[in-house]
């Protein structure tokens, strides 16, 4: 660790966050494995449905992400007024009011997101998607849509616990849900345990049920916590309008930033769908592999953001620069390890998803996935770097700069590059992935440049979001 000063402190903050993220991604990874056992067409359609679900899920979660900051702020003020670690009555009511407002916002956003997801199942016909793929994807999207509500309620509970510095229990709940998800996937998709055979739609139903179970389990845990239970209120119908507006005011910019990142991936998926089910299946598998590794960078991003804010608040800007170098170095080291694994063992890794009963009928899928995996290795370096840079910039208090950089990098650079390389140059799938790499690389460069400029200027203040 001598090459990365402060690494132990950063890892102590980052690993719990990354662990929760990896456990959550394990759910969709299990789904994709189960889809691969059905057919290549199923993994193409199911992967499309999950990509769009993740797009909406990411944006919806962004709306309630600032809840932890509001809770922490109220608790901190209460402790300051009481002169100790106990919250005064005013702080208790503030925390409860944030909870009510968050549940009200989460419910409305979840309902809207579900309607949008169902609508996308029909709107995609206008974007050149294969008719048979859409016919398989629509019922799954319909089954996934209700799961947005308990997923958002769970995230409100998570932000509530994080804001009060007691988030640990969620990791156990999330890990336990992986086994439940695998059992329900097999039950509804293949008829295990005497369940009805629903195929791809059953996998979507399993995901929704797991989200509901997770939400209820974590709510029960919080209700038994002597410190948290008195502060938790889920009565969204009693929310204060001003607090609702504050949750939305802080959450919408975060949602747009998250949505911008997820959006370019969704655009790439739609482009790949235009090349047929085989290309879409290969893309979905490689994208999931990169997405798994990406969770490590999310942990480093959030951990380094907290440490940078703390260092800047204490007037130690040189330490903020050191934290940034350590976070970027650790991220690059982790990406290098997984990059070597993907280079040395591409076949076994890809066959985990593509060893379907009809796999022999699509011999080109595995070959294309192997080619895309090379781009995926570069992609995870560039996407991971830009995500860490977003956290570093947020640590300096500049949240708008991150959103502006994504608008330029993703949409002014990345999306045109995907179209040029994929369609105009005729490189198809590899061209789309090259464009993705260009977009994330441009975004990373813009964000790091902005971070260094803000660090030198010394004009930013720690952000609430």
Q: What is the pLDDT of residues 176-232, one digit of tens each?
A: 888 888 899 889 988 888 888 888 889 999 989 998 998 998 899 888 888 888 888
Q: Please check whether residue 388 lies inside any domain of the structure.
A: yes
How much is the average pLDDT of 129-145? 85
Q: Which residue has the higher pLDDT, 347 or 312?
A: 347
142-151, 320-329, 392-401, 432-441: segment of lowest average pLDDT: 392-401
> Cβ(116)–Cβ(249) under 8 Å?
no
pLDDT, one tens digit per residue, over 239-253 is 889 999 988 987 887
The pLDDT-based confidence of 265 (bands split at 50, 70, 90) is: confident
User: What's residue 356's pLDDT?
Assistant: 53
pLDDT at 303: 73
User: pLDDT tens digits, residue range 326-367?
Assistant: 999 999 998 999 999 999 988 888 877 776 554 434 567 888
The pair of three-digit structure tokens given for residue 296, joined into one six-digit string = 């490590």
Is 101 within the bounds of a domain?
A: yes
Contact 14, 299 (CB under 8 A): yes
Whether 462 is in a domain gets the answer no
Query: Is the confidence at residue 82, as pLDDT, over 60?
Result: yes
Q: 138 lies in a domain? A: yes
**pLDDT at position 65:** 77
Assigned domain for 2 exists:
no
Phi, psi torsion values for 64, nearest 5 degrees: -105, 5
Tell me the mean pLDDT in the region 135-153.
92
Flag the least confident range among 326-330, 383-387, 392-396. 392-396
Residue 167's pLDDT band (boundaries 50, 70, 90)?
low
465 found inside a domain: no
Q: What average pLDDT does the chain have?
A: 82
d(CA 47, CA 30) in angstroms, rounded, equals 12
Please report whether residue 99 resides in a domain.
yes
Q: 412: which DSSP letter?
A: I
C-alpha distances out from residue 123 to 126, 131, 271, 397, Å: 6, 12, 15, 38
pLDDT at position 277 is: 82
184 found inside a domain: yes
CA distance between the termini of the chain: 30
Q: Give the Cα separation of 392 and 405 in Å (integer).
A: 13
**Residue ranges making up the domain that contains 65:** 7-457
Threshold 0.75, pTM exceeds:
no
Contacts of 337 (CB under 8 A, 6+ apart): none
Name the domain count of the chain. 1
């Amino acid at each position: 660790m001598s090459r990365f000063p402060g690494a132990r402190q950063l890892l102590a903050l980052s690993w719990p966050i990354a662990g929760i993220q990896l456990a959550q991604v394990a759910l969709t990874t299990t789904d994709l494995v189960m889809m691969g056992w059905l057919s290549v067409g199923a993994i193409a359609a199911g992967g499309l449905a999950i990509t769009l679900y993740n797009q909406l899920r990411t944006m919806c979660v962004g709306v309630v992400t600032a809840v932890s900051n509001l809770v922490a702020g109220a608790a901190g003020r209460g402790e300051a007024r009481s002169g100790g670690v106990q919250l005064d009555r005013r702080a208790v009511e503030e925390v409860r009011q944030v909870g009510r407002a968050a549940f009200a916002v989460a419910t409305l956003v979840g309902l809207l997101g579900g309607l949008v997801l169902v609508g996308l199942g029909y709107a995609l016909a206008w974007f050149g998607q294969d008719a048979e793929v859409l016919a398989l994807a629509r019922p799954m999207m319909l089954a996934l849509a209700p799961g947005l509500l308990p997923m958002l309620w769970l995230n409100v509970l998570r932000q509530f616990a994080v804001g009060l510095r007691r988030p640990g229990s969620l990791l156990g709940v999330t890990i336990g849900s992986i086994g439940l998800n695998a059992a329900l996937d097999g039950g509804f998709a293949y008829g295990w345990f005497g369940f009805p055979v629903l195929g791809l739609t059953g996998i979507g139903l399993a995901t929704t049920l797991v989200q509901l179970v997770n939400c209820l389990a974590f709510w029960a845990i919080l209700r038994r916590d002597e410190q948290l239970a008195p502060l938790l209120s889920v009565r969204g119908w009693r929310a204060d309008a001003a607090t609702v507006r504050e949750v939305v005011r802080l959450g919408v910019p975060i949602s747009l930033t998250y949505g911008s990142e997820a959006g370019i991936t969704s655009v790439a998926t739609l482009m790949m769908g235009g090349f047929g089910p085989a290309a879409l299946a290969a893309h979905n598998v490689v994208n999931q592999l990169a997405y798994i590794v990406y969770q490590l960078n999310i942990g480093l991003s959030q951990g380094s953001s907290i440490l940078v804010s703390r260092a800047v608040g204490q007037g130690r800007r040189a330490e903020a620069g050191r934290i940034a170098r350590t976070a970027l170095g650790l991220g690059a080291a982790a990406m290098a390890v997984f990059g070597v694994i993907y280079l040395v063992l591409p076949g076994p890794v890809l066959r985990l998803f593509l060893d379907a009963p009809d796999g022999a009928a699509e011999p080109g899928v595995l070959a294309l996935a192997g080619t895309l995996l090379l781009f995926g290795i570069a992609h995870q370096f560039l996407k991971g770097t830009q995500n860490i840079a977003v956290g570093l910039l947020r640590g300096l208090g500049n949240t708008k700069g991150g959103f502006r950089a994504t608008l330029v990098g993703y949409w002014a650079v990345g999306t045109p590059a995907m179209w040029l390389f994929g369609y105009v140059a005729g490189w198809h799938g590899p061209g789309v992935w090259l464009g993705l790499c260009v977009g994330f690389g441009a975004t990373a460069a813009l964000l790091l440049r902005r971070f260094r400029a803000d660090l030198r200027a010394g004009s930013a203040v720690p952000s609430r979001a």
